[in-house]
Chains A and B, each alone.
Chain A
């Protein structure tokens, strides 16, 4: 193709030269130089040389005397040699220029390829890094989940053991109550009722019931501790600490905890662990109450405020499902729970704690927009910390 182009260019130069030599005089061969330059430029070294040879032959044949022969007269020799030198020079120059350009182009292509290669390598490295980071994040999440699971399992085990032992402790006197009550009835309904036996059995039934209630009281005092260790506490600090404790659980359930704390940082006299336990319990209940809420943001608000300058009110508001009247009436009963897990002791114990602190704990339903659990504590006006 490139050689055909060279041949065509030389032939064209020949025709133009032949056509124009009548007007411009003899010999007229400048167009061959143009043909050689173009051939070398577009065709490369090989076609360049071909055009040179063809041009020389054409000039020898058509333009140097004797015309129509390949011979050159000695008088025309220097002229002809100059022509040949010009042609060779032109093709050399152009082909050198071309080679340089090719070299440059190749170098550029190589550079581009290497840049692309490096870019790809970098991208791979980056991908690997991202993957590794994801992996690490997953591992951390798994670790976190495992830890939480472990903690939960430990808690459940403790609760399970506690429940089993409570169940046994309570069931035993109840069994006595049932046996003695049945015996009492049996003595009364004999053909000749035996009142002495019946009343003895009834007395034992009463004794059993008393024992059962003692067991409950004992458990409660065990959990709430008999004597709280009271010190002067900033209630806001306790709320903040509790909020941090509950953060993980809140985040996992998509709940935002909002604190609206009293600006005067009131202090109370109390047991910090117990009060934290109460607030945490209320916060956890609130989070739990919102797990089924999907149509509005899950926001848990903890407020503290001073009332009448002498008592502090702490309120935990959730945007959950609220409380039905039936549930509300039984909330603070021991062992009452609406959950499948849990012992139902939390609120009952919380109320005992708050009452031991000279306060009050109660619940209000905010209709369909959730519920509020709040407690009051006497403000520590004496020896402020």
Chain B
């Protein structure tokens, strides 16, 4: 499956800065969308592509930090590069604690910003890949019957067919049938593959 082109969202209330940053980021061949406020960004339709935010901390209305919290609570873990007027330490600490990707002070050096953008996009690409895989696996696992799910649990826990049969009170033959269905439905190539998928799913759910 071919990934969509990455997008950089630039949110700054100052038109000249917005245009400057947009031009700068476009110059390295990236797609840029600009917004004058956090509200505008939240109201816009966002493409399903690797992305990152270049966000001014101090803005009228919803501030950069407010937007960061809103996005996190809304389950949209897009990496954020903050830009601040003058190094306000408590503010930067807060932003970094909430998982800001980078914190740059105005005026930002062009190369610094481009580096930060590239890093953020790479990180988002990896995260998206992980999320996509996890959701595919989840879909496959969800197609299992309750009985098959029970068998799956015990198989990945390393139990032998005989032990599973004992624990679930069924014949070994029935266990073997369930197991074959599990392997087929989850498209597992081997037992090891099945265990790996199960682990990935658990990790994704923990996140």
Contacts and interface: CB of A to CB of B under 8 A. Distances in A.
Nearest to A174: B107
A171 B111 contact: no
B86 interface: yes
Contacts of A214: none
B91 to A, nearest CB: 14
A317 to B, nearest CB: 40
A32 to B, nearest CB: 113
B20 A176 contact: yes
A200 B20 contact: no
A179 B16 CA distance: 9
Contacts of A184: 23
A190 B27 CA distance: 8
A179 B108 contact: yes
B155 interface: no
B97 interface: no
B14 A176 contact: yes
Interface string B1-27: 000000000000010110111011011
B16 A182 contact: no
Contact of A172 (B14, B19, B113): B14
Contacts of A185: 110
B107 A187 contact: no
Interface residues of B, number: 21
A360 interface: no
Nearest to A194: B27
Given A182-B109, A182-B111, A175 B23 contact: no
A180 B19 contact: yes
Contact of A201 (B14, B20, B107, B108): B20
Given A168-B85, A171-B85, A171-B86, A187 B23 contact: yes
B60 to A, nearest CB: 13
A178 B108 CA distance: 7
B28 interface: yes
Contact of B16 (A186, A194, A208): A208
B207 interface: no
Contacts of B206: none
Nearest to A186: B27
A185 B20 CA distance: 12
A247 interface: no
Interface residues of A, number: 29
A173 interface: yes
A201 B110 CA distance: 13
Contacts of A171: 85-86, 106-107
Contact of A176 (B17, B85, B86, B113): B17
A178 B16 contact: no
Contact of A177 (B21, B27, B107, B109): B107
- Chain A CB within 10 A, most for which of B14, B86, B108: B14
Nearest to B15: A176
B17 A175 contact: yes
Contacts of A181: 110
A211 interface: yes
B110 to A, nearest CB: 3
Question: Which 5 pairs between the two chains have the least Cβ-Cβ distance?
Answer: A182-B110, A179-B20, A178-B107, A176-B16, A186-B27
Given A175-B106, A183-B21, A190-B27, 13 more contacts: A167-B86, A172-B85, A175-B83, A179-B17, A179-B21, A182-B24, A183-B20, A183-B27, A186-B27, A197-B26, A201-B23, A205-B20, A208-B20
29 contacts: A171-B106, A171-B107, A172-B17, A174-B106, A175-B83, A175-B85, A175-B106, A175-B108, A176-B16, A178-B107, A178-B109, A179-B17, A179-B23, A179-B113, A180-B16, A180-B20, A180-B24, A181-B110, A183-B21, A183-B23, A183-B24, A185-B110, A186-B110, A197-B23, A201-B20, A204-B16, A204-B19, A204-B23, A211-B16
